[in-house]
Amino acid sequence: MVVVHGTVAPGFEAVAAAFERGFSGRPDMGAALAIRYRGEYVARLWGGIADSRNGRPWSDDTLSVIFSCTKGLMSLAIARLVEQGLIDYDAPVARYWPEFAAAGKARITVREALSHRAGLLAPRVSLSTERMLDWDFVTAALAAQEPIFPPDSGYAYHALTHGWLSGEIIRRVTGRSPGAHFREEIAGPLGASAHVGLPGELEPKVTHLVTYPGQPVANLPPPPEPNWPLLATTLGDALPPTLVTETGGFNDPRLHAAEIPGAGGIATADGLATIWSAAVTETEGIRLVGAAVIERATREQSGGPGVWPSPPPYYRWGMGFMLDADARRLLTSRSFGHDGAGGQVAFADPVHDVGFAYLTNRMEGAADNRGNEVVTALRTILAA
């Protein structure tokens, strides 16, 4: 049995037990859990293996790729800019990014771009890994291209392009790259170990990700022609469908260093839980966004069958935030945040003033229940 390290507050022992159960039958897995309740930690736990190639153990400062949890962080950054009056959800993206108006996109709003309704789920040109790492090339390609489906006629998950859309809006409004803006406005003030663009000196702390045959990390619908849902994940030749290989995809240090704000964030569980806690209650002396903007940002914009329907259960999204849904049960109906490929879960809950983060380097598919069981245990505790 894997030894779990860390602390859990009295009354919250059931979340520790659920976290420990997640290691059962997975001796080469590593994971971390952090929960802040009313601003204070009630669980800080970690265990297992950070790198199965050399047996490096997971420690309290181990960093892991958080995949689409990064979308939640970018959506939080935009919500702060909305509160500051610098961005309007209902304004055209082209107000902030004039080149975006090309090819019939002049009326696409920030709301549509954030809620997967812009019709830009993949570039129309196949990207290499090198091209994917070129911020200006990708954003220029998205600005120039015609939407793949009529904007706001439905939704399709913008698995990676979501980050370039939200990130370029942030860059145009603030004059800073999205990673720098996130560091200076959110992670830095909170002292949170979370990065969109990892400093090189931290690379040795990053986990090595592993996927398992027969456990796809995404429940993709049957392929249309061209297969846009698949291209949304791979961008053509830039990434493997599984998102990682032994040394490639999101195991590649070049991707760690780059700003890929749709899926490339890297963080500790502590860092994410602290950020999400500060989204709903004062944490480390900081409240990131007020309740009025959060209420608006978490109204459902997309849900149910998409443009390319896949079987239920379905997800729901607000202004970029993933909401509680059949496909991803969060703490309450008002929880918001984002999960990430392979088992990552990070969110805030305004009902109980909770910031939650579960991270793992063993990437599993739709049947994975490790994070869900911890959330269920926490829900039971707080409902008592």
pLDDT of residue 309: 83
How much of the chain, in percent, has pLDDT values that exceed 90? 93
Give pLDDT tens digits for 340-380: 999 999 999 999 999 999 999 999 987 899 999 999 999 99
- The enclosing domain of 327 has a CATH number of 3.40.710.10
pLDDT at position 217 over 60: no
State the average pLDDT for the chain: 96
Write phi, then psi, for 61 (nearest 5 degrees).
Answer: -115, 20
The whole-angstrom separation of Cα 367 and Cα 325 is 16
Number of domains in the chain: 1
At 221, is the pLDDT very low, low, confident or very high (cuts 50, 70, 90)? low
pLDDT of residue 97: 98
Give pLDDT tens digits for 303-330: 999 999 888 999 999 999 999 999 999 9
**Quick one: average pLDDT of 214-223?**
53
Strand (E) or helix (H) holding 339: strand 336-340
At 220, is the pLDDT very low, low, confident or very high (cuts 50, 70, 90)? low
C-alpha torsion 204→270→322→77, nearest 10: -80
Task: Give the neighbor-by-neighbor strand order of the sheet with 265-267.
Answer: 64-67, 265-267, 194-195
Give pLDDT tens digits for 143-183: 999 999 999 999 999 999 999 999 999 999 999 999 999 99
The whole-angstrom separation of Cα 93 and Cα 112 is 9
How much of the chain, in percent, has pLDDT values that exceed 70? 97
- State pTM to two decimals: 0.96
Please give the residue range of the domain that contains residue 338.
4-383
